[in-house]
Structure 1
């Protein structure tokens, strides 16, 4: 598809309404990394600097995929989700960019738009690479925020908007949702990679054995969904600021920690995690490996600008998925 991104002139009415008619746009930079929405840094002639979110079809690189109907992590994008999730995180004192304006009436663009505080360009990922000692404080603060989220419990799982509307019917157990999700992603990835096609039955059997060790649960914490150090900005005062929050969901906290362990690596213990079910954690870790094969292979078939990075990510996780079969302690 031909993608037409936002240009400075497209925001002139927004700027006039929000900052005054005498303000002028100095720069509008589309930030890299976003694949579902457009993220722009807007700079004005009085040194005001804000972030603009744009939820438009042309900003979303993800092609459709087969989904599990009750998978709460499907289609985690949109202004409605952002608004509900922003309020929920603020309610448990999680530092997020301050929301300055949210337009869901499409007054300025043929898209939903949000204006947010610009919390800076330094990610926790960059700080960890550059100065691990300086990252210790933000990591500890982030760990506290995560504990508040993960001990905020709900008797239902699902997107916050679905729960608020009474649409989060609990038809089955969370681990069964994840198993179906993992097996669906395995089938899709096997079409693209003959190694996965050859190992399909072994991988599926491994997933099911991991699921069999998991005990039932009926209380769910507030989880970000895919929180890595690249989804945390660090202000000049050392505050960690959580971003990309549309995937916020009530779900098993092990899903979050499987992701955190993978993304934070050696820094993960500094987050001081809550107690976890090791069997549930292991199932979710392996399911996420399969997700990080299928998703990158799917988006690599599009015009996503960093295609090779996605292919490398899929290859790395294919190696992990196959290695797990060799190291499993049951006969194959």
Structure 2
């Protein structure tokens, strides 16, 4: 039993309260990899398996930004997870089932939940799938799922339950976040510091080319092939959905384009605004440089990944200057 948030007795009581007396825990093991929440896999004697999600701000690698930066686009918290789970389910888009959410804060300073365990692997595992027919069919299912989600529209951006009109356009929020990311990266990377002024000018130039509009799509917000889980029936499921909401569709597709690489052709949308695509791609690169550096500086377990993330996107953003 490995669980730093609930004692064995607390976890056993919680599982039996939700599922019944026959659910006796044999193992609780932490799943490493997440930067914003802690996840444990729970196995029971009757063969049942589920996940325990814990939203503990002290275990979040971006707690400083969440607490102190008003422009930081928050993708953290049990309320967002619960909201987006319900919203996506209402529109027929699969996510892990939320069995129970405990946000009482009566005994602990954090929220936690029991969530469906979807046995399978990340979509990126199928990039090298030997059966091309099965692979093509899978990525068509992913395309259909994303088309369904992206087809949900409204005329204000923000969370699913926030219909208030915002003071400025959504891309302005992204530009402010990108400026903050650039400032952090300039302090820690020579190539970024050397090009700091040009990068800032490029960011403003790309933003100035965008024409306003007032129609937004529901997007995941950080949709790489690691956030699409494929079960054993080859059916896709979205995970890490806290950051989902209404925004420019190009924000999603500019991310999909470089995260899926050669496999983006399955998901490509030909009706996107090229100015927005370039602007958001530039912003993503700046954000991921800063994000990689912060993971590196804050002792993320996979230091090689964090360093590689920052270095790769630093090369990409400098290339975009030319």
Q: Is the structural similarity TM-score above 0.5? A: yes
Give the direction of change, closer, same or farther, for the CA distance of 1:102–1:256 in structure 2 (3 Å limit).
same
State the distance in 2 between where 1:324 and 1:149 align: 30
The match for 1:258 is 254
State the shift of 1:5 in Å. 4.5
The match for 2:284 is 288
The match for 1:19 is 19
State the shift of 1:68 in Å. 6.2
Moved more, 299-308 or 33-42: 299-308
Equivalent residue runs for 1:87-98 within 5 Å: 87-98=86-97
State the shift of 1:159 in Å. 2.2
Between the two proteins, the alignment pairs up a number of residues equal to 318
Equivalent residue runs for 1:286-325 within 5 Å: 286-325=282-321
The match for 2:196 is 200
Secondary structure, in 3 states, of the residue corresponding to 1:47?
A: coil
Could you list the runs of 5+ residues in structure 2 that have no partner in the other structure?
A: none
Checking the alignment, whether the CA contact within 8 Å between 2:129 and 2:135 is kept in structure 1 is no
Matched, 1:101 2:100: yes
Secondary structure, in 3 states, of the residue corresponding to 2:101?
A: strand
1:79-133 residue CA offsets vs partner (Å, 9 max, x unmatched): 1111111111112211111221122224675421222221113111112234462
The match for 1:330 is none
Checking the alignment, whether the CA contact within 8 Å between 1:5 and 1:59 is kept in structure 2 is no
- Report the RMSD for the aligned CA atoms in angstroms: 2.1
Equivalent residue runs for 1:219-230 within 5 Å: 219-230=215-226
Secondary structure, in 3 states, of the residue corresponding to 2:222?
A: coil
Could you list the runs of 5+ residues in structure 1 that have no partner in the other structure?
A: 328-332
Checking the alignment, whether the CA contact within 8 Å between 2:83 and 2:160 is kept in structure 1 is yes
TM-score (norm 2): 0.92
TM-score (norm 1): 0.89
1:156-181 residue CA offsets vs partner (Å, 9 max, x unmatched): 111234x15x4xx4111122222222
Secondary structure, in 3 states, of the residue corresponding to 2:205?
A: helix
The match for 1:191 is 187
The match for 1:235 is 231
Equivalent residue runs for 1:159-174 within 5 Å: 159-161=159-161, 163=162, 166=164, 169-174=165-170
Give the direction of change, closer, same or farther, for the CA distance of 1:68–1:11 in structure 2 (3 Å limit).
closer
Equivalent residue runs for 1:27-66 within 5 Å: 27-65=27-65
State the distance in 1 between where 2:300 and 2:255 align: 23
State the distance in 2 between where 1:294 and 1:144 align: 33
State the distance in 2 between where 1:225 and 1:289 align: 14
The match for 1:79 is 78
Give the direction of change, closer, same or farther, for the CA distance of 1:268–1:61 in structure 2 (3 Å limit).
same
1:282-325 residue CA offsets vs partner (Å, 9 max, x unmatched): 11001100001011111211122112211111011111111222
1:33-82 residue CA offsets vs partner (Å, 9 max, x unmatched): 111111111110000111111111343122413976355xx221111111
State the shift of 1:233 in Å. 1.1
1:164-202 residue CA offsets vs partner (Å, 9 max, x unmatched): 5x4xx4111122222222122111110111321121111
